[in-house]
Structure 1
Amino acid sequence: MNKTKKLVSFILVFAMAIGIATCTQAASREEIANIHVSKAGDFKYWADNSPAKQTLVNYVKDVTNKKSANFIPVEDRIAVFDLDGTLICETTPSYFEWMMYLDRVLDDPTYNASPEDKDYAKVVKAAIDARHLPEDMELKEAIAQSKAFAGMTFPEYENYVKKFMETPAEGLTNLKRGESFYLPMVEVVSYLQANDFTVYIVSGSDRPALRILVDGIMKIAPNNVIGTDADILASHQNGKDGLDYVYAKDDRIIRGEFLRKNVKMNKVSNIAQEIGKQPVLAFGNSSGDASMFQYTIINNKYKSDAFTLLCDDLDRELGNQKKADSMAKSAKENGWVAISMKNDFKTIYGPEVKRAAAQ
């Protein structure tokens, strides 16, 4: 083969390789599940010079060193993570559970929502489209969402969540909602678990939905997931109080109506009630996590820290600079460690996931 033919062959092979690379989709759930970080050198998705990553690595090395004055026994190595905006995207164009609620009320042909429920879902959709969520909408939406799925058995709800996980993450290309985990933060969870930290998710989202979302992605047991709760009933309970009803052999567990929204101080209350120990590490991204941060670092008998994720990447993510600036200011005032998605993350979902062109 002469030099010209060799050159042509090389160009063709290179072009094919480029073509394959550019067709690559986001990391699959299976690929995300295979992320493993046990030591500092294993991180792939963080910028090499990230000060936030180095702060975390230094912390872990210190508190896991038996010779250190800051050594923390394994049983007390508790780390708590928010979900939306901390481990998974919350802006496609809104929280996973909010978008699933709209799908249920406005687009599910098997669900006969009342005119009032449809009207409120349209109000929520309009607020999401306008990128302006009134402060009281968080609680109202949680109540409406619980109502929309009330009466479903747990297998039915699981199937609905898994189906919705397959829908495209709006505003980003090559990404499904169930794959929209931040790869660098999945590395953090893996790193902590490899160093004998017990990781909990403490989120404002629906607890059963969280368990389904996380299952198969991170090694977090269902009982280590704390979220917003709806009532849980027997299928033949028919409004009877649980003190007056005995579960029957033909009963099945079904979802009921709203109980409690797990945000702000409620996160602290639920951590104290369900974990029974003060965390030593906390990760979040918004003012809704402030109480969890403060509970972690104030009056802790162990060395502790709080990390807040800044949504400051407007190119690779659907960021919000105003919110990022506000959280950066809060971090500086309160002694939290700020993580810049723009500067600290080498990638977020993988190089083939990009912002979709504006419509």
Structure 2
Amino acid sequence: MDAELGSWRDGRARSAITDFVRRVTTEGGADYVDPAERVAVVDNDGTLWTEKPMQIEIGFILQRLAAMAEQAPDLRERQPWKAAYMHDYDWLGGAITQHYRGDDADLTVLMGGFLRAFAGMSAEDYLAASGEYLRHGSHPTLGRGFGQCAYPPMVELLRYLEAHDFTVYIASGGDRDFIRAISDEVYGIPAERVIGSSNALEYQEDERGASVVYRARPDVFDDGPVKAVRIWSRVGRRPILSAGNANGDIPMLEFTGGPSLPALRLVVLHDDEEREFAYTDGAEELLERAERGGWTVVSVRDDWTTVFR
């Protein structure tokens, strides 16, 4: 077994990865791809690290909203401040699940609170606050630091691809700058290779000379079809390998390869209740599409020897 994928059990998923990499890196072969075109894109929440009982980023937002509700009691009866103040993880996590089912009502409310929570903060201050939360906080149910919530098999995959001259990007529906705070430290992916959602920014002259500051309105929600658009706008190439775990990743996976390039599409299936969480909520369409298209489904239970370290 290839030690570079040491946490992957020998089986269909692992073979699909190693066979694909061998084919696209064998010069003179029918599927050979020049190193410049070996682009891989990988989702973050639920693909590179855990996303239950709610996405890690939502805990960061919750902390900020709860502090606002502490200072302004009238906010405690309004969502999302109410959920933050009461630690209602079901409402917060449910907003994301409902989004993947096509219902954005609660997500819109949550995003409205997020925009208010960080309006006026400089990008550097937001990055510092995100890093502080991620380095010193812990998962509410797993009892481990957030950096330890990454999946070792997926981090191994990133290194394996890079060893074969792939350029790997994170393409997430989560906030770009939140992920950038620890992307290099946890995943070995530099900040400039993180594609994600973002608030609108503006330039302001201040005591530092000048800053880029968050505004109270959205810029991009990097999910669904927008993911494919953002990948092209940031990278200028189609990926040949992609990995995701939710309905919002379908367009990214469909965009992979295209008419002139080979493709490997990986779908992470959360089916290990003992070691992590078992769920398909928000992934129903993706799993159906994977079955129809012959995409490679990665079973957390069957394909990974370890889920966390």
TM-score, normalised relative to structure 1: 0.76
1:270 corresponds to 2:230: yes
Provide the residue aligned with 2:264 in structure 1.
305
Provide the residue aligned with 2:56 in structure 1.
96
Provide the residue aligned with 2:200 in structure 1.
231
Tell me how large the CA RMSD over aligned residues is: 2.5
Contact 2:80 2:109 in 1 (8 A): no
Provide the residue aligned with 1:5 in structure 2.
none
Letter of the 1:265 counterpart: P
CA distance in 1, matches of 2:145, 2:107: 24
Contact 1:311 1:323 in 2 (8 A): no
Provide the residue aligned with 1:250 in structure 2.
209
1:331 corresponds to 2:301: no
Instruction: State the Cα distance separating 1:108 from its structure 2 match.
Output: 6.3
Compared CA separation, residues 255 and 147, structure 1 to 2 (3 A):
same
Compared CA separation, residues 162 and 249, structure 1 to 2 (3 A):
closer
Sequence identity of aligned pairs in percent?
A: 26
CA distance in 1, matches of 2:82, 2:71: 18
Classify the secondary structure of the residue corresponding to 1:132: helix
Classify the secondary structure of the residue corresponding to 1:256: strand
Equivalent residue in structure 2 for 1:169, among 139, 156, 176: 139
Q: Within 5 A, what are the aligned runs for 1:281-292?
A: 281-292=241-252
Provide the residue aligned with 2:38 in structure 1.
77
Query: Which 5+ residue runs of structure 1 have no aligned equivalent?
Result: 1-38, 238-247, 351-359
Contact 1:235 1:252 in 2 (8 A): yes
Query: Which 5+ residue runs of structure 2 have no aligned equivalent?
Result: none
CA distance in 2, matches of 1:58, 1:280: 14
Greater Rg, structure 1 or structure 2?
A: 1
Compared CA separation, residues 154 and 324, structure 1 to 2 (3 A):
closer
TM-score, normalised relative to structure 2: 0.87
Deviates more, 1:162-171 or 1:52-61: 162-171
Deviates more, 1:330-339 or 1:120-129: 120-129
1:62 corresponds to 2:32: no
CA distance in 2, matches of 1:321, 1:253: 39
Contact 1:83 1:203 in 2 (8 A): yes
Letter of the 1:339 counterpart: V
Q: List, as ranges, runs of 4+ consecutive aligned residues in structure 1 with deviation greater than 4 Å.
A: 111-114, 122-127, 321-327
Letter of the 1:296 counterpart: T
Letter of the 1:67 counterpart: G
Contact 2:43 2:172 in 1 (8 A): yes
Classify the secondary structure of the residue corresponding to 2:274: coil
Classify the secondary structure of the residue corresponding to 1:89: coil
Instruction: State the Cα distance separating 1:332 from its structure 2 match.
Output: 0.6
Aligned length: 297
CA distance in 1, matches of 2:76, 2:199: 18
Compared CA separation, residues 326 and 302, structure 1 to 2 (3 A):
closer
CA distance in 2, matches of 1:43, 1:219: 16
CA distance in 1, matches of 2:263, 2:198: 28
